[in-house]
C-alpha cells in the first residue's frame, strides 16, 4: 500500500468560459495531480475531493503532503488542482489577477476564479473519468474564496453543475489579504465576500483561525453577521492559529470535512455546531 | 465524531455578534473602526448601540450600487461585453464588476440582488430578491469608449436600457409592447467626434503579456460616449434584469464584444432595508 499520484496537464478551460479577444482558448490550460492509495481496487467506490490552493502556491503537491494524505487516509480520491501560473498550468490570460493592489476587481476576480473551479468540475466529472459525483471541494485562502464563488454561480447558465458537488470546505476565504495593512480596500473585500457567502448553495464549513492576520476574526465575524437565516455555512475556528494552519491540525479539518461529506453532525469540543449566526 | 479537536477550537454564533447592550465588543485589532459586535449593534439599533436591543429595527434606507467593470477596476483590461440571447433576440449587455447593496453602517452587503449570468469577470444579469416591488430612482452615469469599426467613418447612437430578462413575475401590464423596458439615457451619434485610433494604447494592460497574440483588443476606430442617468425604475420580485446597450448605427459600423470599455462611472438607487434588518433582528433575538 502506497500513496501515489498521476499528473494531468492540459486541462482545458471551462466549456463556456468567455475567453477574451484576441486570446485563443488552446493557449490556456490547467494542471492537476490525482492522488490515491494504490491498494484500492476501484476508484469509483471512493469519493473525490478536489483541492484549490492559495495564491502563494507554485508547486504541485505530493500524495503525502498535509493537504492530500489526510483525505486519502479517509478513503478519498484527492485531486489538487492548479490555477493559472501554478503547478504546470499555463500562465493567466489576464495581465493582472487576484490580489493585485492596483487591480481592485473584487467581485469580478471571484467570478474569474469560479470559472477555474468550473473547469476542474467539468474535467473530472466527464464520462471518460472514473470518478463518482458528487464531489467534495476544499480550498485554502484564494482557493477557498474560489469554491464559495463557484457555489454562488453553480446553477447559473454556463455553469449548471450544482449537483456535481455535495459540500465545500474553505479556510481563510478572502479577497487578497486584508489584515495588517497588506492590501487595500478591506471594505470592498467584505462587501464582496459577504455577498458571495450569502449566496452559497452547498453545505459548507468556513474556517477562520483566531490569529489569521489575512482574514482576521473581526473580518470573519462581519461576514458571518450578514448571513441569511437559511445560511448553509458553519463558521468554525481551529483556535489560535494563523492563516496557514491546515498543516498543523490535519486531523481537525480532515475529520470535519469527512463528517460534512458523510452527513454526520458537526461537533466542536462536545457541542453541536450551528449554521450561520446560530 | 471529531476526537482530535484543539481545545481552543470553536464555532461562532450569535452571542459573538450582537449581545446588546454592548459589552466587551472592542475591536480585537486596529484593522476596523468597529468590531463585528459593535457594528452589529449600530446596524440593528438605528445607530443607538448603548440602548437595549429593540424589538423591531427602525426603518432604514439602503443604497444599492451598480458598478460596471470600469477601466480602473480591471486594471485597464477589457471585459467581454457579449450579445446575450434571450429567446429570439440578442441583447448587448453591460457587465457589472459588482452590485453592492449597503445599509451605511456596515461594509457587509445586503442580499438585494443575486447574480444570474456572468461573463469572464462581470455580472451580466441579476435577480431582484426583495419580497415586494422596489420603486426607486436610478442615479449615475457612465463614460465609455466604443469601437465603431476597423477603419473609416461611422457613428453610433448608444442608448442604455434597463431590461427584464425573465418577466414571469411582472404584472401583465408590464408585458405589453414596451415589454417593461426602462430607457435610462442616450449618447447621440450626431455629437460624436470623428472616430479615432486609441492614441496611447500602451496605457492599457490588455491580455497576458507573455503570450503573443494574433491581434489586439485595442485596434480600430473608437469614440467616447457619456450617458447621464436619473430615471425612475422598478424592480419586481424574482425578476432578472440587465443593463442593455442599444446601438443605432450610421455609416460603416461594426460593434464587437471587446469594443466597449467603461472609462468610469456607475449607478445607484435607494431602497427600504427595514424588512431585511427586521428579519435579521428577529433571528438574533431568538437566540
Domain spans, chain A: 3-272
User: Which of A19, A105, A208 to mutate against chain B (most B CBs within 10 Å)?
Assistant: A105
Please tell me the predicted confidence (pLDDT) of residue B126.
Answer: 96
Evaluate whether B140 touches B267 at the Cβ level (below 8 Å): yes
The CATH number assigned to the domain with range B62-207+216-271 reads 2.60.120
| Beta carbons of A108 and B77 less than 8 Å apart | no
Please tell me the predicted confidence (pLDDT) of residue A184.
Answer: 61
Interchain contact A252–B (C-beta under 8 A): yes
Backbone torsions φ then ψ of B266, nearest 5 degrees: 165, 180
What is the rounded average pLDDT for all residues in chain A?
A: 91
Chain A, window 222-251: residues with a beta carbon less than 8 angstroms from a chain B beta carbon: 222-226, 228-229, 234-240, 249, 251
Q: Which is higher by pLDDT, B15 or B129?
A: B129
What SS3 class is residue A276?
Answer: coil
Give chain A positions within 8 Å (CB) of B57: none
Taking the C-alpha atoms of residue A158 and residue A162, their distance in angstroms, rounded to an integer, is: 11
Does residue A239 carry a pLDDT above 60?
yes
Give chain A positions within 8 Å (CB) of B111: 195, 198-199, 228
Smallest CA–CA distance, residue A29 to chain B, in Å, is 13
Closest in B28, B75, B287 to A100, CB measured: B75
pLDDT band of residue A183 (cuts 50, 70, 90) is low
pLDDT band of residue B204 (cuts 50, 70, 90) is confident
Q: For domain A3-272, which CATH number applies: 3.90.1200.10, 3.10.20.70, 1.10.8.10, 3.40.50.1820?
A: 3.40.50.1820
Interchain contact A275–B (C-beta under 8 A): no
The arithmetic mean of pLDDT across residues A249-271, rounded, is: 94
Residues B4-54 have pLDDT tens digits of 677 877 776 655 554 433 334 455 566 677 777 778 777 777 777 777 666
Chain A, window 139-198: residues with a beta carbon less than 8 angstroms from a chain B beta carbon: 152-153, 156-158, 178-180, 186-188, 190-192, 194-195, 198
Q: Which residues of B265-278 are buried (b: 16+ CB within 10 A; e: fewer)?
A: bbbbbebbbbebbb
Give chain A positions within 8 Å (CB) of B209: 95
pLDDT band of residue A156 (cuts 50, 70, 90) is very high
Please tell me the predicted confidence (pLDDT) of residue B107.
Answer: 86
Return the closest-CA partner of residue A156 out of B245, B124, B160, B46: B124
Task: Count Cβ atoms below 10 Å from residue A40 Cβ, excluding itself.
Answer: 13
pLDDT band of residue B258 (cuts 50, 70, 90) is very high
| Beta carbons of B115 and A24 less than 8 Å apart | no
Return the closest-CA partner of residue B10 out of A239, A259, A222: A239
Please tell me the predicted confidence (pLDDT) of residue A185.
Answer: 78
Please tell me the predicted confidence (pLDDT) of residue B18.
Answer: 44
Please tell me the predicted confidence (pLDDT) of residue A15.
Answer: 97
| Beta carbons of A91 and B211 less than 8 Å apart | yes
Please tell me the predicted confidence (pLDDT) of residue B231.
Answer: 96
* DSSP 8-state class, residue B175: S
pLDDT band of residue A182 (cuts 50, 70, 90) is low
Please tell me the predicted confidence (pLDDT) of residue B22.
Answer: 37
Report the residue count for chain B. Answer: 287
The arithmetic mean of pLDDT across residues A38-51, rounded, is: 96
Q: Which is higher by pLDDT, B51 or A269?
A: A269
What is the rounded average pLDDT for all residues in chain B?
A: 84
Please tell me the predicted confidence (pLDDT) of residue A273.
Answer: 87
Least confident interval from B68-77, B166-175, B213-222: B166-175
Return the closest-CA partner of residue B91 out of B192, B159, B187: B159
Does residue A224 carry a pLDDT above 70?
yes
Of the spans A95-99, B87-91, B146-150, B263-267, which averages the highest pLDDT?
A: B263-267
Kindly identify which residue of chain A lies nearest to residue B65, measuring between CA atoms: A191
Q: Which residue is listed with cell 457612465?
A: B142
Question: What is the pTM (predicted TM-score) of this model?
Answer: 0.92
Kindly identify which residue of chain B lies nearest to residue A234, measuring between CA atoms: B11
Closest in B7, B28, B258 to A20, CB measured: B258
Residues B169-179 have pLDDT tens digits of 777 777 777 77
Please tell me the predicted confidence (pLDDT) of residue B188.
Answer: 96
Please tell me the predicted confidence (pLDDT) of residue B183.
Answer: 95
Return the closest-CA partner of residue A24 out of A93, A79, A86, A84: A93
Residues A129-154 have pLDDT tens digits of 999 999 999 999 999 999 999 999 99
Please tell me the predicted confidence (pLDDT) of residue A76.
Answer: 98
Please tell me the predicted confidence (pLDDT) of residue B20.
Answer: 39
Taking the C-alpha atoms of residue A65 and residue A207, their distance in angstroms, rounded to an integer, is: 20
Does residue A277 carry a pLDDT above 80?
no
Please tell me the predicted confidence (pLDDT) of residue A115.
Answer: 96
pLDDT band of residue A62 (cuts 50, 70, 90) is very high
Residues A75-105 have pLDDT tens digits of 999 999 999 999 999 988 877 666 555 446 7
Q: Which is higher by pLDDT, B106 or A177?
A: B106
Please tell me the predicted confidence (pLDDT) of residue B27.
Answer: 57
Kindly identify which residue of chain B lies nearest to residue A185, measuring between CA atoms: B107
Give chain B positions within 8 Å (CB) of A153: 115, 118
Backbone torsions φ then ψ of A35, nearest 5 degrees: -110, 140
Interchain contact A205–B (C-beta under 8 A): no
Q: Where are the domains of chain B?
A: 15-59+274-285, 62-207+216-271
Please tell me the predicted confidence (pLDDT) of residue B1.
Answer: 45
Closest in B106, B109, B205 to A195, CB measured: B109
C-alpha cell at B256: 464587437
Taking the C-alpha atoms of residue A100 and residue A184, their distance in angstroms, rounded to an integer, is: 9
Taking the C-alpha atoms of residue B188 and residue B243, their distance in angstroms, rounded to an integer, is: 18
Kindly identify which residue of chain B lies nearest to residue A230, measuring between CA atoms: B283
Amino acid at each position: 500500500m502506497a500513496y501515489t499520484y498521476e499528473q494531468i496537464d492540459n486541462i482545458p478551460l471551462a466549456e463556456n468560459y468567455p475567453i477574451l479577444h484576441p486570446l485563443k482558448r488552446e493557449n490556456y490550460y490547467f494542471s492537476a495531480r490525482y492522488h490515491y492509495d494504490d491498494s484500492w481496487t476501484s476508484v469509483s467506490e471512493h469519493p473525490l475531493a478536489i483541492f484549490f490552493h492559495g495564491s502563494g502556491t507554485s508547486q504541485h503537491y505530493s500524495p503525502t503532503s498535509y493537504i492530500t494524505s489526510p483525505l486519502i487516509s479517509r478513503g478519498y480520491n484527492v485531486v489538487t488542482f492548479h490555477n493559472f501560473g501554478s503547478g504546470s498550468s499555463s500562465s493567466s490570460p489576464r495581465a493582472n489577477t487576484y490580489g493585485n493592489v492596483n487591480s481592485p476587481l473584487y467581485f469580478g476576480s471571484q467570478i474569474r476564479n469560479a470559472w477555474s473551479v468550473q473547469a476542474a468540475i467539468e474535467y473530472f466529472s466527464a464520462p471518460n473519468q472514473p470518478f463518482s459525483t458528487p464531489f467534495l471541494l476544499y480550498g485554502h485562502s484564494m482557493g477557498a474564496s474560489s469554491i464559495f464563488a463557484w457555489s454562488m454561480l453553480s446553477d447559473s447558465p454556463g455553469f449548471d453543475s450544482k449537483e456535481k458537488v455535495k459540500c465545500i470546505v474553505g479556510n481563510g476565504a478572502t479577497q487578497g489579504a486584508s489584515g495588517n495593512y497588506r492590501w487595500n480596500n478591506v471594505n470592498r473585500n467584505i462587501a464582496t465576500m459577504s455577498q458571495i457567502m450569502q449566496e452559497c448553495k452547498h453545505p459548507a464549513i468556513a474556517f477562520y483561525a483566531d490569529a489569521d492576520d489575512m482574514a482576521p476574526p473581526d473580518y470573519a465575524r462581519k461576514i458571518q453577521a450578514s448571513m441569511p437565516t437559511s445560511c448553509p455555512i458553519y463558521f468554525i475556528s481551529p483556535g489560535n492559529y494563523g492563516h496557514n494552519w491546515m498543516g498543523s491540525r490535519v486531523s481537525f479539518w480532515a475529520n470535519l470535512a469527512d463528517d460534512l461529506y458523510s452527513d454526520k453532525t458537526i461537533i466542536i469540543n462536545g457541542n453541536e455546531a450551528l449554521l450561520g449566526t446560530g | 465524531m471529531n476526537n482530535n479537536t484543539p481545545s481552543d477550537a470553536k464555532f461562532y454564533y450569535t452571542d459573538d455578534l450582537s449581545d446588546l447592550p454592548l459589552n466587551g465588543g472592542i475591536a480585537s485589532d486596529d484593522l476596523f473602526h468597529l468590531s463585528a459586535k459593535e457594528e452589529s449593534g449600530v446596524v440593528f439599533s438605528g445607530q443607538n448601540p448603548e440602548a437595549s436591543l429593540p424589538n423591531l429595527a427602525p426603518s432604514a434606507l439602503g443604497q444599492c450600487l451598480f458598478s460596471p467593470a470600469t477601466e480602473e477596476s480591471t486594471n485597464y483590461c477589457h471585459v467581454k461585453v457579449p450579445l446575450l440571447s434571450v429567446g429570439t433576440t440578442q441583447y448587448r449587455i453591460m457587465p457589472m464588476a459588482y452590485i453592492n447593496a449597503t445599509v451605511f453602517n456596515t461594509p457587509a452587503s445586503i442580499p438585494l440582488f443575486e447574480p444570474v449570468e456572468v461573463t469572464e469577470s462581470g455580472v451580466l444579469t441579476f435577480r431582484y430578491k426583495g419580497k415586494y416591488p422596489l420603486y426607486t430612482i436610478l442615479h449615475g452615469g457612465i463614460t465609455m469608449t466604443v469601437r465603431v469599426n476597423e477603419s473609416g467613418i461611422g457613428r453610433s447612437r448608444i442608448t442604455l436600457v434597463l431590461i427584464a430578462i425573465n418577466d414571469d413575475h411582472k404584472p401583465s401590464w408590464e408585458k405589453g409592447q414596451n415589454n417593461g423596458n426602462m430607457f435610462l439615457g442616450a449618447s447621440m451619434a450626431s455629437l460624436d467626434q470623428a472616430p479615432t485610433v486609441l492614441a496611447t494604447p500602451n496605457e492599457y494592460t490588455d491580455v497576458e503579456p507573455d503570450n503573443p497574440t494574433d491581434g489586439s483588443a485595442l485596434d480600430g476606430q473608437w469614440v467616447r460616449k457619456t450617458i447621464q442617468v436619473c430615471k425612475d425604475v422598478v424592480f419586481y420580485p424574482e425578476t432578472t434584469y440587465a443593463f442593455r446597450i442599444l446601438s443605432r448605427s450610421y455609416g460603416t459600423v461594426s460593434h464587437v464584444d471587446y469594443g466597449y470599455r467603461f472609462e468610469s462611472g456607475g449607478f445607484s438607487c435607494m431602497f427600504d432595508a427595514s424588512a431585511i434588518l427586521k428579519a435579521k433582528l428577529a433571528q438574533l433575538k431568538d437566540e
